[in-house]
Amino acid sequence: MKRLFLLLIALCAGLSAMAQEQELSWRDKIVHPKFDVRLSIGGPNGLYFYPNAEFGNSDWRDGYWKSSYKLADIYEPYYKIDSTPTFTAEFNWHPAKFLYVGADLSWNRAWGRRYDPVTDTKIGDKKISSAYLMGKAAFYWVQLPHFKFYSSLYAGAEIRQSKIDDDTSLGLKPAFDVNMTGVEWAGDVVFGFAEMLLGTRMNMIKLGVGLRF
């Protein structure tokens, strides 16, 4: 009986040691870089556009506009809008395994052709170019050898150039983005990443590639 008891203890100790070894081995595979740089493209301009602050009656709400029961909706000029994606370059520093902070620079552009709804003819243009300088902090909440999941918060400023027909103006606005779920995947050095963003700079998904070192 005593022998059997000692044998079981030895077996447990052995298994436990093996498990720890295995655990250490997959944890060791997770890369914790000191820095990374990233390039990405994302959705078009964010929240500033959605409440119609810039383009008033817009064709994105065509269905609503055409069946409206309000004179201002029917008769105010409306815009047909196009925009570029948002291009971003980022530099990040990882002071801890679960955290990184950084700064990024973005650019995007939107332009609208203004139409008279009565004659349905083009009566003007409006173009908006924006550059964003933002700081950020990100927190990894799951880290696996080839996948990392994280959330991040961006805050900074937007420099906006608006051109309405022949009038050009410059403005400075606060800017923010919230990324609830981001994911990094693949290699130790080169990796891909995606973020779901909501904010004044971008809406929808941002996709990019990064380099760890």
- Interface residues with other proteins (CB under 8 A) are 66-72, 74-76, 118-119
Dihedral through CA 199, CA 200, CA 206, CA 208, nearest 10? -120
| Closest distance of CB 68 from other proteins, Å | 7
Between 2 and 70, CB nearer to other proteins: 70
Between 75 and 147, CB nearer to other proteins: 75
Between 29 and 66, CB nearer to other proteins: 66
| Closest distance of CB 27 from other proteins, Å | 57
| Closest distance of CB 204 from other proteins, Å | 28
Gap between the Cα atoms of 92 and 103, Å rounded: 7
Between 74 and 164, CB nearer to other proteins: 74
| Closest distance of CB 76 from other proteins, Å | 7
| Closest distance of CB 161 from other proteins, Å | 27
Between 73 and 198, CB nearer to other proteins: 73
| Closest distance of CB 66 from other proteins, Å | 4
Pair 16, 171: CB distance under 8 Å? no
Gap between the Cα atoms of 102 and 94, Å rounded: 9
Between 4 and 72, CB nearer to other proteins: 72
